[in-house]
Amino acid sequence: MKFIIIAVLVVISALAIDLIYIHSLPDVVVAIGKPVRQDDFLYTVTRVITHHENDNFAYVVTIKVNNRARIVDYHWRDEIAYVTDASGRQYRAAPASSGGQDEPAIPAGRSASYTLTFVLPASARTPMLRYSNGILMGDVFDGAAYRRAAIPL
């Protein structure tokens, strides 16, 4: 019994150290058109259109999602993608940018594109698109590297 407790404590300690290490790594800047991998899924920003709206800037971003899984469908949610500025503020897509929860699943081996609109104040500097979709099995092996990807808009 004592061995099991020690083993559990070692595993928990190792996971805690891994999480601290992962969060201390710098962001990786990814160019528009380059894919970001999360497990069997690739997210690629294929197009960005910027226009001025009152005192804000609207970024209309098209993201292509490739499902490279052999069996599993992929369910896109608009909240997976978000934008940060140089101050660390986060901006979510405008409601119903691409249809969100009502989007059909992407079958294994297929892809789909989604267009999201992010409205940022004119004072926002260095907007970067990022992804956050939890941790999937493949993320365990690369430390959820996709979460450190930052795509300049």
Give the number of domains in the chain: 1
**CATH at 54:** 2.60.40.1240
Question: Span 134-148, mean pLDDT?
Answer: 56
Inside any domain, residue 14 = no
Inside any domain, residue 52 = yes
Query: What residues contact residue 147 under an 8 Å CB cut-off, 6+ apart?
Result: 130, 131, 132
For residue 108, give its domain range.
Answer: 28-152
β-sheet bridge partners, residue 129: 83, 151
Higher-confidence residue of 22 and 31: namely 31
Question: Span 67-86, mean pLDDT?
Answer: 92
Q: What's the predicted TM-score (pTM) here?
A: 0.78
- Are 148 and 25 spatial neighbours (Cβ–Cβ below 8 Å)? yes
> What is the per-residue pLDDT for 53?
83
Inside any domain, residue 127 = yes
Inside any domain, residue 20 = no
> What is the per-residue pLDDT for 146?
63
**φ, ψ of residue 31 in degrees (nearest 5):** -70, 155
Inside any domain, residue 87 = yes
Inside any domain, residue 5 = no
Token output for 126 = 């260095």
